[in-house]
Amino acid sequence: MRAATFVLLIFFSITASATIYKCPTASGKVEYSSKPCADGETVNIRPSATIMSQETMRDQPGGGQIHVGMTPSQVRSIWGAPRAVNATTDKSGLSEQWVYDRNGRTHYVYIRDDKVSSMSSHEEIGSGSRSTEPPSTAPAYKPTPTRREIEEQEREDKSGNRRFISQGMTQTRVRSDIGEPENKSYRTGIECWNYLPAHNDRQAHTSICFDGHGKVLTVDRTIER
């Protein structure tokens, strides 16, 4: 017999009121018997009570249900290991889709922040399938933008502010107002930031030079025709 924590999952089909005896073994484990034993305890079982094994529970229609908020270990303890695990990562973190085949349906369990966030299932009908539950609320996978892509987007969004850059502004202020430059150039004691024409500043090539203290010295806007 197995330990008490597992013995409780043994299947009993009891059609009349019965008493089961909880008996400790020499190895320190516990066995359940219909016969009295030394140092044993009685466990009263109600009529028609059924205690199912884990595998039996998985096969019962409507049994062993998964709910939002469960942990991955709870899902595994009820439905076992998934047939497949699909993982995606976005700015919100890691999301996993666990795939199960149960009772003629394909079930999808979505895990986020170490908990079940949503579920859906599809029933196979001929060559097609029909959704039997609401679609998943798990976000679609979106690749994380690179630093270069973020800087390009910021330059585009702020390109209309280039005409307002003036002498005396700091590098921090310029970067905040119009974003990082496409490139930089240097000459003795002077650093220049260069911006190519963009969505809201289509014709001007802007060059902003800073003095040795990091403040705007000159702003050169060349119109390209």
- Taking the whole predicted model, whether its pTM rises above 0.75 is answered as no
pLDDT of residue 94: 86
With the C-alpha atoms ordered 103, 66, 48, 17, is the resulting torsion angle positive or negative?
positive
- Sequence-distant (6+) residues with CB within 8 A of 123 are 104, 105, 129, 130, 132
Kindly report the backbone phi and psi dihedral angles of residue 78, in degrees, each rounded to the nearest multiple of 5, phi listed first.
-95, -45
> Are 144 and 89 within 8 A, CB to CB?
yes
At residue 124, the pLDDT reads: 60
pLDDT digits (tens, 9 = 90+) for 167-197: 999 999 999 999 999 999 998 889 999 999 9
Write out residues in the chain with pLDDT < 70, as ranges.
1-21, 28-30, 32, 42-63, 124-142, 225
Helices (H), the chain: 4-7, 54-59, 72-79, 147-158, 171-178
